[in-house]
Amino acid sequence: VLLFLSPPLQEGRCLYVILLMSLYWCTEALPLAVTALLPIKKLGILPSNKVCPQYFLDTNFLFLSGLIMASAIEEWNLHRRIALRVLMLVGVQPARLILGMMLTTSFLSMWLSNTASTAMMLPIANAILKSLFGEKETSKDMNRENEEHQASLQQNKLYTVPTEMQFLASTEDKDLTEEKEISSDTLSDLKKEEEYKTNIWKGFLISIPYAASIGGTATLTGTAPNLILLGQLKSYFPECDVVNFGSWFMFAFPLMLIFLLLGWLWISILYGGINLRGWRTKKSNIRVDAEARAREVIKEDYQKLGPTKFAEQAIFFFFCIFAIMLFSRDPKFIPGWASLFAPGFISDAVTGTTIVIILFFFPSQKPSFRWWFDLKAPNTETQPLLTWKKAQETVPWNIILLLGGGFAMAKGCEESGLSVWIGGRLHPLEGVPPAVAVILITTVIALFTEFASNTATIIIFLPVLAELAIRLKVNPLYLMIPGTIGCSYAFMLPVSTPPNSIAFSSGHLLVKDMARTGLLMNLMGVLLLSLAMNTWAKSIFQLGTFPAWANIHAENATSILTDVENVTLSAL
């Protein structure tokens, strides 16, 4: 009751809208994008001409350009060619294949959405696993796992995807009655081999969504929370210019690689891809034959793609230009190409949209120069690399509204004085050492996002973290960046992220598999993020000092807080 009664009128209205949106986002009583439209009706907090522009900031256009580039890559199957090529290079031993899957998924997730990367890699993983181990499972284990899996799906309200493995297992029960008598030693060996197959299968499937979540943190456009951080920084701290595509990549890419390597080791050891005790043991002929079949499957799938098309080459070229120009615009450690233009006119959004516009008129087939000189040549229409109809179908437009809702919420918190009011009640945390605060924040947010949307989570927490940093007199980025990346470290439950749900719905994973694997993944993520923030991030983002752009905000906040207290006292 005190929480609702203590804020002044304007701050209380804003707090009510935020709590209502948080409730709807966590329970999904309304679609996430519909809930994001609620700030437009902010009960007299802000006029609509200030709220509505928040839905189309330059940060939204940067994200939109990344989504359009991803649509073009998917249109011409360039992502599948890259994935199969990487798998051909890493080899077909289970541990190497898991590494190849994780590297490929994380790379794709840096540019595509985490959900699209997972959905694309899972069929490839299933094809390889079937060639490695066949499609037969013992009916007893299959039935037991199916029952537990169905119960988990119903409990978590997840969509069930019937698998070919389950269908084949049910149709092959008739053959089990004709099994010949076998010795106890052979039965024991078969049981061990079956457990090995099951574990490897689980390791493959669980590694893909984890790699997608980790890979999305490496670029600003990789996942929505990264862009929400950028947008809210521009709202709270307009003078802050240290976070852009290049500086974020320099910080997050090494962190992603280290986490990916440790995650691969953990998954491989846990699920038998790496056997620490029997690494010198000679492979059985069955496993050698299985690996040969898997190699052939990968090679066959790659050959089905045919020779590299002109459209694929063009998309790859523009993708490289897209990434290079974003990275080199203003890398901070050296002057970028944006310094050649007037300050403020060139942003990451301008760079991204310039490249993706070309995709809509660049031809998908190699142009013939003879056409210009042949008067009798037919005037046929050339298909571009990407049509607007395809972009409409594949771009998740609801994410744009979700980002805009977050920015509108942040603007309301700032203009109403709610963020200052919250900051005034954070006095008990002022004695917490900043390094401890980073660990606590990352842990709390990583646990919270296990049950709620990571986008909704970071929208709720970022204003509080900004004010807490000002109270602690530390660089706001020192708390806001860990909070942002911590939102992507949701590994323990199927409902935590869409990639987790997709992998879980394949029918081969149980909730306990994700829980025991994800617990250590969460712990590793928190510790690695704390290490990164206290080492190389300090030099990249200048975290060792309290910056001038934050100091200006702190002075304004102090004056606003004094005014709020005076208004409150006079009302009393």
pLDDT at 171: 38
Nearest 10 degrees: Cα torsion 450, 395, 326, 355: 180
Tell me which of 58 and 136 has the higher pLDDT: 58
Q: Token pair 């949701």 is at which residue?
A: 490
pLDDT tens for each residue of 493-522: 887 888 888 888 877 788 888 899 999 999
Q: What would the mean pLDDT of 286-308 be, rounded to a whole number?
A: 80
Which tens digits make up the pLDDT trace of 200-217? 888 888 999 999 999 999
Confidence of residue 557 (pLDDT cuts 50, 70, 90): low
List the alpha helices (DSSP H) in 331-490: 348-359, 388-394, 397-416, 418-423, 434-448, 454-472, 477-486
DSSP-assigned letter for residue 489: -
- The string of DSSP letters for 24-88 reads HHHHTSS-HHHHTTGGGG-TTSS-HHHHGGGGG-HHHHHHHHHHHHHHHHHHTTHHHHHHHHHHH
Integer distance in angstroms from the first to the last C-alpha of the chain? 18
Average pLDDT over residues 298-323: 89
**How far, in Å, CA of 336 to CA of 321, rounded?**
15
Instruction: State how far the Cα of 282 lies from the Cα of 299, in Å rounded to an integer.
Output: 25
pLDDT at 460: 79
pLDDT at 46 over 70: yes
Is the distance from CB of 263 to CB of 214 less than 8 angstroms? yes
Residue 550: pLDDT over 70: yes
- pLDDT of 123 > 90? The answer is no
pLDDT (0 to 100) of residue 177: 44
Per DSSP, the three-state class of 363 is: strand
pLDDT tens, position by position, 48-57: 888 888 888 8
Report residue 560's pLDDT band, with 50, 70 and 90 as the boundaries.
very low
User: Which of 146-150, 375-379, 411-415 comes out lowest in average pLDDT?
Assistant: 146-150
Contact 478, 533 (CB under 8 A): yes
d(CA 172, CA 431): 65
pLDDT for 102:
92
Mean of the pLDDT values across residues 381-405? 86
The predicted structure's pLDDT at residue 348: 83
Which of 466, 464, 512, 519 lies closest to 491 in space, CA to CA? 519
pLDDT higher than 90, residue 395: no
Whole-Å CA distances, 337 to 58, 62, 221, 233: 19, 18, 20, 23
Asked whether 142 and 164 are in contact (CB, 8 A), the reply is: no
Question: Which of helix, strand or coil describes residue 384?
Answer: strand
94: Cβ contacts below 8 Å, ≥ 6 apart: 132, 200, 203, 204, 268, 272, 273
Give, in degrees to the nearest 5, the angle at Cα 262 between 292 and 127. 30
For residue 308, which phi and psi values (nearest 5 degrees)? -65, 125
Weakest-pLDDT range from 56-60, 139-143, 455-459 = 139-143
Written as six digits, the tokens of 48 are 């609509």
Residues with Cβ within 8 Å of 441's Cβ and at least 6 positions away in sequence, in order, are 461, 465, 479, 482, 483, 486
State residue 103's pLDDT score.
Answer: 92
Q: How many helices (H) and strands (E) does the chain have?
A: 27, 0
Check whether 353 has a pLDDT greater than 80. yes
Whether the per-residue pLDDT at 564 is higher than 50: the answer is: no
| Selection from 436, 99, 143 nearest residue 266 by Cα | 99
In residues, how long is the chain? 572
CA distance 345 to 4: 43
Can you tell me the distance from the alpha carbon of 103 to that of 86, in angstroms, rounded to the nearest whole number? Answer: 8
pLDDT confidence of residue 371: 63
Lowest-confidence region among 166-180, 302-316, 326-340: 166-180
Q: What is the DSSP letter of 517?
A: H
Higher model confidence: residue 194 or residue 494?
A: 494
Quick one: average pLDDT of 33-40?
A: 86
Task: Answer whether 311's CB lies under 8 Å from 385's CB.
Answer: yes
What is the predicted pLDDT for the residue at 182? 53
Specify which of 92-101, 176-185, 474-483 reaches the highest per-range mean pLDDT: 474-483
pLDDT at 165 over 60: no
pLDDT at position 391 over 60: yes
For the stretch 93-114, pLDDT in tens is 888 888 988 999 999 899 888 8
Q: Are 238 and 552 in contact (CB under 8 A)?
A: no
Cα 95 from chain centre: 24
What proportion of the chain, given as a percentage, has pLDDT over 70?
A: 77
Average pLDDT over residues 15-39: 82
Tell me the torsion sign for CA atoms 84, 90, 94, 98. negative
Q: Distance between CA atoms of 495 and 511, rounded to whole angstroms?
A: 10
Whole-number average pLDDT of the chain: 78
Q: What percent of the chain has pLDDT over 90?
A: 18
Cα 245-246-251 angle, rounded to 5 deg:
100
Q: Taken in order 263, 266, 272, 273, is the CA torsion positive or negative?
A: positive
User: Alpha helix locations (H) across 216-284?
Assistant: 224-236, 245-270
**Residue 460 in contact with residue 413, Cβ under 8 Å?**
no
Cα gap 241→233, rounded to integer Å = 9
Is the pLDDT confidence value at 166 over 50?
no
Is the alpha carbon torsion for 223, 524, 468, 426 positive or negative? positive
pLDDT of residue 530: 93
As a whole number, mean pLDDT of residues 76-87 equals 84
pLDDT higher than 80, residue 25: no
Q: Which residue has the higher pLDDT, 291 or 435?
A: 435
Segment 211-235 shows an average pLDDT of 89
Nearest-angstrom CA–CA distance, 498 and 181: 46
> Average pLDDT in the 465-479 region?
88
